[in-house]
Amino acid sequence: MSETAKLVLGEKTIELPIIKGTEGEHAVDITKLRSQTGYITIDNGYMNTGSCTSDITFLNGEKGILRYRGYKIEDLAEHSNFIETSYLLINGVLPTKRQLDFFNEKIVSFATLPSGITRMLDTFPRDAHPMGVLSAGVAALSAYYPDFLDHDLSDSEKDRAVAQLMAQVKVMMAYFYRRAKSEEPVRSHPSLGYCADFMNMIQYKPGYEVDHEVAKAMNVLLILHADHEQNCSASTVRMVGSSNANVFATISAGIDALWGPLHGGANQAVLEMLETIKKNGGDYKKFIKKAKDKNDSFKLMGFGHRVYKNFDPRANIIKKACDTVLTKLGVQDPLLDIAKGLEEEARSDSYFVERNLYPNVDFYSGIIYRALGIPTNMFTAMFVLGRLPGWLAQWREQVGSPTAKICRPRQIYTGPGVRDYVPVDERK
């Protein structure tokens, strides 16, 4: 007999089904709670709410485990590349050589933007934040591909949407990056590989060749960012996708959710924080004090995580990669010393220890992006490039599910009771 949980509400006791995940996680299924009892649950910030079941990503915050489709993040970062990992996330298996080539070719076939999109990108101020530009640009793609407005896409149409977005988001970012610097766009050279091609598109000048270490570091960074189960932006993607909104609108919404400094925008905020500390003479202890002060809104950016309460495995890999990349590129960055100092100080401070606050994925990533020559306001857009296959995998899983439902949480109303309407000239 399947396990149930008993809930006592006044005189009434009801049994609620227990759902188990493959890794031994348990959930109480409250789908019928309201129809059976009239009660709902409240969970501010969804601290304890499972919004779906999913086959894509497993993470255990207490043990610092992260796996994509069963594969350890450490193994993927060491042995895979971003395109192979994207295929894995989206299709559930590691591709054969033929499948990988086909996936790559499909992405490559979309490496140009409709001219209307480039004209639109040309109208933005050069100093516009790339996240706003990307969000608008991705939503605007819907105007050029009306076939995708139909929510009932076939599998091959979904494959096309995936490949198209993986290609066009990359090209859009590179196009706007060069425009911001008043430089001519550089066309895509797919034979370089996804990451090296992107670096070439943004940094090309006569004589430029993408350094192997740079392409490798970017592959690792994008793999580490590729999915993270039901975080704020993935949940936004599922929320918007659940209304049968088209894939462009859905991914554009994910970009907006990622932009916030409590989520993906933290990578930019970390760098800005480190710069401020440097300008203040490198006195990071002062900033640790500020972060602990409850009367000060300052937070140690790149620290803390809703789910990881031990360590963020991505941060460990990035920290190592940071040392390796900077050494190999011969870059000496005083911000790395400040970051390490901050981490050391925080890790031995009871405020951070008691609250299980550790460096997250965003703490060291910006220092690598900086070493790769990527400007600070592009960092969160780099996160978009990495997270795109994860969002697309979440979208595909959701729209393909026979049990998919529109996401529509409830609330407990706490406003005024019923009131009589008073005409404007009679109001006091």
Which residues are catalytically annotated? 305, 362
User: Amino acid letter at 39?
Assistant: Y
- Among the listed residues 8, 405, 7, the one whose alpha carbon sits nearest the alpha carbon of residue 18: 7
Token pair, residue 111, equals 């490496």
DSSP 284-337: HHHHHHHHH-TT-----TTB--SS-SS--HHHHHHHHHHHHHHHHHT---HHHH
Token pair, residue 202, equals 């943004």
SS3 assignment, position 58? strand
Q: Is 357 in the site for ligand ACO (CB under 6 A)?
A: yes
R_g of the chain computed on alpha carbons:
23
Q: Is 368 in the site for ligand ACO (CB under 6 A)?
A: no
DSSP lists the bridge partners of residue 19 as: 27
Q: What are phi and psi of 230, to 5 degrees?
A: -90, 55
Q: Is 304 in the site for ligand ACO (CB under 6 A)?
A: yes
Token pair, residue 285, equals 């202890």
Q: Is 305 in the site for ligand ACO (CB under 6 A)?
A: yes
Q: Report, in Å, the least distance between residue 239 CB and ligand ACO.
A: 17
Q: How buried is residue 322: exposed, middle or buried, by Cβ count under 10 Å (0-12/13-18/19+)?
A: buried
Q: Closer to ligand ACO at the Cβ: 45 or 402?
A: 45
Q: Is 262 in the site for ligand ACO (CB under 6 A)?
A: yes
Q: Cα(18)–Cα(10) distance, rounded to whole angstroms? A: 22
Contact 121, 179 (CB under 8 A): yes
Residues 141-180 that bind ligand ACO (CB under 6 A): none
CA contacts within 13 A on the Cβ side of 185: 18
Q: Report, in Å, the least distance between residue 56 CB and ligand ACO.
A: 17
Q: Report, in Å, the least distance between residue 77 CB and ligand ACO.
A: 16
Q: Candidates 49-57, 120-128, 171-179, 293-301: pick the segment binding ligand ACO (CB under 6 A).
A: 293-301
Q: Is 216 in the site for ligand ACO (CB under 6 A)?
A: no
Q: Closer to ligand ACO at the Cβ: 90 or 384?
A: 384
Q: Candidates 153-161, 188-196, 248-256, 259-267: pick the segment binding ligand ACO (CB under 6 A).
A: 259-267
Q: Closer to ligand ACO at the Cβ: 238 or 305?
A: 305
Q: Report, in Å, the least distance between residue 347 CB and ligand ACO.
A: 13
Q: Report, in Å, the least distance between residue 342 CB and ligand ACO.
A: 11
Pair type for strands 12-20 and 26-28:
antiparallel
Q: Cα(5)–Cα(18) distance, rounded to whole angstroms? A: 7
Q: Is 266 in the site for ligand ACO (CB under 6 A)?
A: yes
Q: Report, in Å, the least distance between residue 19 CB and ligand ACO.
A: 23
- The dihedral built from the CA positions of residue 301, 306, 308 and 309, taken in this order, carries a sign that is positive
Q: Report, in Å, the least distance between residue 292 CB and ligand ACO.
A: 7
Q: Is 360 in the site for ligand ACO (CB under 6 A)?
A: yes
> 């227990």: which residue's tokens?
18
Q: Candidates 72-80, 186-194, 245-253, 296-304: pick the segment binding ligand ACO (CB under 6 A).
A: 296-304
Q: Is 340 in the site for ligand ACO (CB under 6 A)?
A: no
Q: Is 390 in the site for ligand ACO (CB under 6 A)?
A: no
Q: Candidates 25-33, 326-334, 336-344, 353-361: pick the segment binding ligand ACO (CB under 6 A).
A: 353-361
Q: Candidates 86-94, 207-215, 352-360, 406-414: pick the segment binding ligand ACO (CB under 6 A).
A: 352-360
Q: Closer to ligand ACO at the Cβ: 20 or 285?
A: 285
Among residues 103, 259, 303, 379, the one that binds ligand ACO under rule CB under 6 A: 303
Q: Is 306 in the site for ligand ACO (CB under 6 A)?
A: yes
Which helix H or strand E contains 392, and what residues bound it? Answer: helix 379-399
User: Amino acid letter at 391?
Assistant: W
Beta-carbon contacts of residue 324 (< 8 Å; ≥ 6 apart) = 217
Among residues 84, 229, 256, 362, the one that binds ligand ACO under rule CB under 6 A: 362
Q: Is 313 in the site for ligand ACO (CB under 6 A)?
A: no
Q: Which residues bind ligand ACO (CB under 6 A)?
A: 45, 262-264, 266, 291, 299-306, 355, 357, 360-362
